[in-house]
Amino acid sequence: MKLLIGTFIFSLVYSILLLGSENQLEVAALVILAFVVSVVGKKIGLMESLARAVHEHPRFPAYAAIGGVLITALVFHNSHFALMMLATVLIYSIVCLGLNIQFGYVGIVNFAGAAFFGIGSYTAAILATHTAIPHLLVLFIAAGISALIGSILIYPVLRTRGHYAALVTIAFGILFRNFLEVNDTLGGPQGLKIPPLTIFGWNLSDGLDIGGFELSFYIPYLLIALILLVLSFRITRNLERSWIGLSMDMVRTDEIAASTFGVDIAHWKIVAFTLGNFIAGMAGALYGMMTAYVAPNNFTFADSLILVSIVILGGIGNPWGIIPAAAIVVILPEKLQFIQEYRFLLYAIVVILILLFRPDGLLPRRIREYFPGKKSGDAG
Amino acid sequence: MNHTITPIKNKILEAHQLTMRFGGVTALDALDLHVNEGEVLGLLGPNGSGKTTFFNVITGLYHATSGNVTFRNKDLTDVSAQEVYREAITRTFQRSRLSLPLTVFDNIAIGDNRRLNTGLIFNLFQRDRFKQEYEKVVEQVNQLLLTFNPKLASKIFEPVASLPMIDRRRIEICRALISEPDLLLLDEPSAGMTHDETAEVMDDILQVREKMKPFTIVLIEHEMGLIQRMTERCIVLNYGRKIAEGTYDEIVNNHEVQVAYLGQE
C-alpha cells in the first residue's frame, strides 16, 4: 500500500510539473527523469512489486487515477491550455479503449479510428446546430451514427483477415476524409463550427466563477470526459473479464478451434467492431464540442495511426496501458514545441525507445482474472 | 424383430457417398461408413488417406463436394462448425490448437460454450449473476481436471504456454469433454508424445468416459498398440476410400490393408 501511495504521489507531482512546465530546461529535465526512473525501476524490479501491490488492492488504481485527474484539474483551474491537454488525453483514452476492444480482443486493427472519431464530431456539429436535441443525448446519438456508418465496413472486414482487414479500414479512413473535403454541405475543407455543449440551459463554454474562484471553461468538459472514460473503462473491463472477453480472445487466437467449439466468429467481430466505433464516435462528439470546430484535416490517416500507436504503446489489450500512452502521445509533442520541427523526431525516438525496452508496451496485458483479488484463502 | 440374437446397435453417425475434392485432389472418394452408438471406432490409413479430412467435413470446417452426413438421423452435410458443436460433437486436433496466452481454465471453459450465457447485458452489467455462473464453471472445470489428472487441477489459472506437450494434449481433450459430448473425435492423440504418455492420456479418457457417460469415440491413430487396446471396430481408408472394416485382428490380416501400408509386393 505504501508503494502504491508513493507511486501515486510521484506520478501526480510529475504530471502536474510536466503539464505546467513552460521552458525547455524543465521539460528536458522531466523527460530525462522519466528515463532514469524507468531504468532504475527495472533494475530493482519496481514493476513486479507494483503489480503485486495492485493485485492486493485491485481497486486502488481506479480511485487514484480519478483522484489524480481531479487534483490536477484543481491545480490548473484557470490554465486553459493545460486543462485542454488533460481533457484531450482523457478523450483520446476513450477512443483508444474502443479501438482496444477491436484490436486487443477480436484482433481487428482499425486504421480508421480518426474517421469514426470524426463521424462523432461531425454528427455533433450538425445535430447541435440544426436541432434542439439535448446535447448530452447528442453525444450518444453521434456514437450511434458512428457505429451505424461503421456497419458499412462489417461485410468487407468479415470477409478478410489480418493485414487485409486493416487495409479495408485504411481505405475507409482515406475515403472518409476525401468525402468531407468535397462535400460542401459539411463545410468542405473549411469544416464546421460546433456550438458549445449546453446542459440544462447552462452553456459550458461560459466558464465558471464560484465565490471568486475562477474556473476555466475546460473544467466541465474535463469532468464529462472523465465520466465517459470511467464508463467506457468499466465496460471494457467487464467485457474482458467475462465470457464475451473469452469468446473474443478465442476469435483472435484461433478462429478454427473457436468455431469448432461453437464460437460465432462473425457475431463477436461485429459486436467488437460496432462497440469500438460507438465509443470512438462518442469521444469524437465531445471533442468536437470542446474545440468548437471540426475540419477534415483533424481526421487524417496520420491521426488514425496515432490512435493505433497509443494502443500498441500502452500494451495491446490492457485498458490501463492506454491512459499513460495517451498522455505521452498527446502531451510530449506539445511540450517539445521549443525544438520546433524537430519535436516529432524526438517524440518518435522516445516512442521507439519505449518499445525497445518494453516490447509489449508500457503495461502489457496480464492473464485474465475474472474476479481479481477475491481468491478464496486470500486475506483482505 | 429379426435380429433378436445380436443386440441392434443404433447408428449414431452415417456418411453416404461422401466426397471431398480440393481442385484435382480427391481426399474423400464416395466414402460410405457408419459409427455405432457407444462404440470406440478406430480410423486408420496411411498419411493422406483422408482421415483428418473426414473429421473436418463432419465438424463443418469443410463442406463436402457431394454425398451427405447424418448424425442421429439429422442431416449435417452443409451445416456450420458451430451447429455441429451444438449437436454435441466435439473434437481434438492433430496439431495442438490451444490458445497459448490464455489460461488452462479459459481454454477448457470455452469448450462448454453452448452452456455459457454470452448475453451482453448479463456479462457487462449483471456481474453478481455472472459471478455465480463463473464459479459454477470453475467448479466444473476443476472437477474434470481432478478426474482427468489431479496434478493439472493445481495449474488451472496458469497460461497454457507454460505447460509441457502432454498437459496441452490433456487440456485439449478436457476442452472436448467439458460439454459432455455424444460423439468425441480424437485426431491422432499420440502425435508428439511418447508411448507411455499416450497410454496415460488414453486411460484418463476411458476413466472420464466411465464416470460421465458412455459417449461414442472415433479415434484416428497410427499407433497400432493403441488401436488394439482401445477400439472395438476399425475402418481403414486409403486414397479417400474405405478398403477394410472389422475388428483389429481382421484388419491387420487383411491383404489390401497390408498392401496399402507396405506398398505393392
Cell of A153: 465496413
CA–chain centroid gap for A346, Å, is 22
For an interface test with A, the pick among B55, B76, B90, B102 (most A C-beta atoms closer than 10 Å) comes out as B102
C-alpha B113/C-alpha A260 separation (Å) is 10
Share of chain A above pLDDT 70, in %: 94
For an interface test with B, the pick among A260, A278, A378 (most B C-beta atoms closer than 10 Å) comes out as A260
Cβ–Cβ below 8 Å for A254 and B97: yes
What's the CATH fold of domain B97-179+191-214?
Rossmann fold (3.40.50)
Number of Cβ within 10 Å of residue B215's Cβ equals: 20
Q: Which residues of A fall below an 8 Å CB-CB distance to B? A: 235, 238-239, 242-244, 246-247, 249-250, 253-254, 256-264, 271, 367-371
Q: Judge residue A208's burial from the number of C-beta atoms within 10 Å of its C-beta, 0-12 exposed, 13-18 middle, 19 or more buried.
A: middle
For an interface test with B, the pick among A251, A261, A268 (most B C-beta atoms closer than 10 Å) comes out as A261
Cβ–Cβ below 8 Å for B82 and A243: no
Task: Give per-residue pLDDT as tens, A85-109.
Answer: 999 999 999 999 999 999 999 999 9
Confidence of residue A234 (pLDDT cuts 50, 70, 90): very high
B216 and A CB contact within 8 Å: no
Contact B60, B82 (CB under 8 A): yes
Chain A partners within 8 Å of B131 (Cβ) = 370-371
More confidently predicted of A128 and A198:
A128
Helix (H) or strand (E) holding B31: strand B25-36
Return contacts of A167-174, CB within 8 angstroms, 24+ apart. A169/A108, A169/A109, A169/A110, A169/A111, A169/A112, A170/A111, A170/A112, A170/A301, A170/A304, A172/A112, A172/A115, A173/A111, A173/A112, A173/A113, A173/A114, A173/A115, A173/A299, A173/A301, A173/A304, A174/A301
Per-residue model confidence (pLDDT) at position A271: 96
Task: Give per-residue pLDDT as tens, A307-348.
Answer: 999 999 999 999 999 999 999 888 888 887 766 677 778 778
Phi, psi of B16, deg, nearest 5: -120, 120
Nearest CA in chain B to A232: B124
Q: Please determine whether the domains at B10-88+216-265 and B97-179+191-214 fall in the same fold group of CATH.
A: yes
Lowest mean pLDDT among A167-171, A241-245, A327-331, B125-129: A327-331
C-alpha B120/C-alpha A315 separation (Å) is 25
Contact B44, B18 (CB under 8 A): no
Q: How does DSSP assign B50-115, residue by residue?
A: SHHHHHHHHTTSS--SEEEEEETTEE-TT--HHHHHHTTEEE--SS----TTSBHHHHHHGGGGGG
Contact B190, B198 (CB under 8 A): yes
**pLDDT of A374 above 60:** no
Please name the amino acid found at residue A178.
Answer: N
Nearest CA in chain A to B80: A259
Domain assignments of chain B as residue spans, ordered by start: 10-88+216-265, 97-179+191-214
B130 and A CB contact within 8 Å: yes
Per-residue model confidence (pLDDT) at position A285: 95
CA–CA min distance B4, chain A (Å): 39
Task: Give per-residue pLDDT as tens, A5-57.
Answer: 888 888 888 888 888 887 778 888 888 888 888 888 888 888 888 888 888 88
**pLDDT of A210 above 70:** no
Report, at the CATH architecture level, how domain B10-88+216-265 is classified: 3-Layer(aba) Sandwich (3.40)
Q: HSE, CB side, 13 Å, CA atoms: give it for residue B145.
A: 23
Per-residue pLDDT of chain B (265 residues; tens, 9 = 90+): 444 455 567 899 999 999 999 988 999 999 999 999 999 999 999 888 999 999 999 999 999 999 999 999 999 999 999 999 999 999 999 988 999 999 999 999 999 999 999 999 999 999 999 999 999 999 999 999 998 888 899 999 999 999 998 899 999 999 999 999 999 999 998 888 888 888 888 888 988 898 888 999 999 998 888 899 889 999 999 999 999 999 999 998 988 888 888 776 5
According to DSSP, the residues that pair with A203 across neighbouring strands are: A198
Per-residue model confidence (pLDDT) at position B52: 94
**pLDDT of A378 above 50:** no
Sheet holding B25-36, edge to edge: B25-36, B11-22, B66-71, B74-75
C-alpha A64/C-alpha A60 separation (Å) is 6
Domain assignments of chain A as residue spans, ordered by start: 2-357
Please state the pTM of the whole predicted model: 0.91
Per-residue model confidence (pLDDT) at position B198: 87
C-alpha B8/C-alpha B3 separation (Å) is 7
